[in-house]
Amino acid sequence: MNPHHHPVDSLFGCPVCNSRLKNPVTLSCGYTVCKHCLPSQLSTGIAGGTMSTQEQRTFICPVTACQQRAHLFGRDREIHVDTVIDALISAQSYDISRMQQRWPMVKKRRIERNMDDGDDRHDHLLECPKCSNIFSDPITTHCGHVFCKVCLMKLAIQGEPCIKCHNPLPRFNHFLNQAAVNRILQQMLHNSVSSASSASSSSSSPLIAVPQQPMPVFVTGLVILPRQHARLPIYAPAHIRMFREAVFGDRQQGKLYLATVHRGRPSMAHYGTVVEIVSIETPHASHALDHGMVLDVVGCERFTASDAAAATTGMSYDISMLTAFCSSIPTDNNIMRDDERVDEIRRFLSEIAHHPPPAIEWGTLWFDTMERIHGHLPPRHAPVEDQLWWTAIVLPVSATERYSLLCIVPLDARLSLVLSWTRQLREQWSSQHQ
């Protein structure tokens, strides 16, 4: 991989002063500027101790192209240089200086072109210190170190500080929703042939590959279906340990997931759902997850789990880790869009939403609430599988019935089951009215 694909002056130019970056500082919006180009109160006020607490935490971005005007600069009072970009600039300057000493008459542009021709000596600078892989969605922390987005989210979940300087890191939701990728490093990776081919090859792959070794799974009291939004409270110490063991990431998508299985009886359920972690709430605005949390998740894909093995903690019999051989269940691509059963199901939903029978006067409110939580009902031309999952999520059926749907692989059989639910509910409400 050649990270020096663009000319030095354009790649490492400051967007504020248009000069070569000097003491580069990467902001929370992903832009990197010279330290002396930061607002004056950041470079002078902090040292003088004249800034208020709010002024120390926020400032107006000096980059005119930035769409996020007000920035959270971080908890630290000290401004830290981006260590990776600073090292890349120093390395390139050193290489150019050496080549000019060897060939004084060679033009600078020719030197830069020569550096583009397969010079991989500084590739180690683009490796994440956490996972030792080439950066994926690189984010510069407030302490000036760079990690993959997924690696930072994992560090936040584990409650660990920056592994380079041991300074505390922001909470999980900051990295998930607020922190922007480092624009310079992302551009370097985007122009790398190996990075682009890796991203294209993994974009459509399932979250759980063919089982080769057991992976940690997360046991919950809920049956979660694909497309379903759910909240998972986690407060018991063993449950927190299970969560931290089971969380896994997709580096290309920059997201974290859990392979969730229902707490079956008498043994663990053999079908589960991979869920994406949308946000994490902690009690009393605490950053630490050791005192419990509530996960907001959304179902992504089904999987099967077999040969589960549990490990208990000390004298307690609470499960703290559960591993199983897991494999994804592929999505059924059978079209079936002209099936009359789909139209009957949609008519039932429409009746409840717009003309609810007297037995369910809450119909309109219920339907609106379901759409706020789980999104709008997929349109008629959408894949039948998506329409079925949405219907199964919002219908008032038991967890046992939901799990039976989760276990059925053929789309035709799932369609028949959901249709039977709507007919049973219609008969039940009609008999109540009579």
Q: How confident is the model at residue 200 (pLDDT cuts 50, 70, 90)?
A: very low
Asked whether the predicted pLDDT for residue 45 surpasses 50, the reply is no
Tell me: do 238 and 374 sit in the same domain.
no
Tell me: do 66 and 127 sit in the same domain.
yes
Helix (H, G, I), strand (E, B) or coil at 157: helix
Tell me: do 78 and 1 sit in the same domain.
yes
pLDDT per residue over 243-273, tens digit each? Answer: 999 999 988 788 999 999 988 654 567 899 9
In a domain, 364, yes or no: yes
Q: How confident is the model at residue 311 (pLDDT cuts 50, 70, 90)?
A: low
pLDDT per residue over 206-248, tens digit each? Answer: 888 766 788 999 999 899 999 999 999 999 888 999 999 999 9
Tell me: do 154 and 6 sit in the same domain.
yes
Q: How confident is the model at residue 57 (pLDDT cuts 50, 70, 90)?
A: low
pLDDT at 205: 74
Print the domain residue range for 290.
Answer: 215-309+318-328
Cβ count within 10 A of residue 50: 10
pLDDT at 8: 44
Tell me: do 246 and 133 sit in the same domain.
no
**CATH code of 223's domain:** 2.30.130.40
Give the span between the Cα atoms of 122 and 192, in whole angstroms: 14
> By mean pLDDT, which of 116-125, 135-144, 173-182 is the weakest?
116-125
pLDDT per residue over 327-386, tens digit each? Answer: 999 887 777 777 899 999 999 988 888 777 665 666 677 778 888 888 889 999 899 999
Give the span between the Cα atoms of 185 and 386, in whole angstroms: 37
Tell me: do 245 and 357 sit in the same domain.
no
In a domain, 248, yes or no: yes
Tell me: do 323 and 345 sit in the same domain.
no
Tell me: do 376 and 425 sit in the same domain.
yes
Distances (CA, A) of 146 to 128, 336, 374: 7, 48, 35
Tell me: do 20 and 136 sit in the same domain.
yes
More confident residue, 52 or 133: 133
In a domain, 118, yes or no: no
Q: Which amino acid does the sequence have at 289? A: L
Please, what is the angle between helix 237-246 and helix 149-158, to 10°? 160
pLDDT at 365: 75
CA dihedral 112, 114, 115, 117 (to 10 degrees): 130
pLDDT at 231: 94
Tell me: do 177 and 235 sit in the same domain.
no
pLDDT per residue over 399-419, tens digit each? Answer: 999 999 999 999 999 999 999
**CATH code of 29's domain:** 3.30.40.10
In a domain, 208, yes or no: no
More confident residue, 179 or 229: 229
pTM for this one? 0.80
Give the residue from 193, 225, 246 where a domain finishes.
193
In a domain, 419, yes or no: yes
Total domains, the chain: 3
Tell me: do 170 and 289 sit in the same domain.
no
Beta bridge partners of 305: 326
In a domain, 371, yes or no: yes
In a domain, 112, yes or no: no
pLDDT at 428: 82
Asked whether the predicted pLDDT for residue 46 surpasses 70, the reply is no
pLDDT at 402: 93
Tell me: do 224 and 176 sit in the same domain.
no
